[in-house]
Structure 1
């Protein structure tokens, strides 16, 4: 993001002097100053109201983290896609683990001549005893 440097401010002032003329420039400069002061008062008032409503939590908030200029839409989309992919992998992994556990229970029941129910509990063969 480009910053407003002294050179740029001087160029803007020179252009404003040519466009507005030397007679109207002080009037518009005064209006601009009043506008900036009013905007600052409004921002300070909003900040004070927010501080009053939030209480002591206001000072604990990391405001830089909430700065919208730090968000890159490409990164947000990439992170969302990666997160979806991670969730899909985790779900597939859980399904494979559940299937493997079920296969182990079924195999252990078949080897011992016992039946295994859907909860993994063993049933003894009553005819064998």
Structure 2
């Protein structure tokens, strides 16, 4: 019960953020993430494509491409309730998919065994990343 209240409080706080606040927070997350040694060493990174007022992963992706990283994103199959993974090479290759979230127009199947880092969206984390 308490977890549900905390979760809803966090959602309300995120919804209340202005576009400028989301951009500032996204820039802070991007700078911090790109400073992580495991990310620096990674060759292939899987990330979600941001939607709504989530941190802007598109800017993260663009910067990772500049560092010659391969990017993998999830594709949702609503009917089967499954996710698959696809490489992307450009944001121009994207279109709105399930739930209105950008997904690749053309699937370039990715093997999860070749992914070095996975960026996972979350509403709140403890100091240890849990």
TM-score (norm 1): 0.25
TM-score (norm 2): 0.25
Q: Structure 1 or 2: larger helix share?
A: 1
Larger Rg: 1
Which protein has greater RCO, CA pairs closer than 8 Å, 6+ apart? Answer: 2
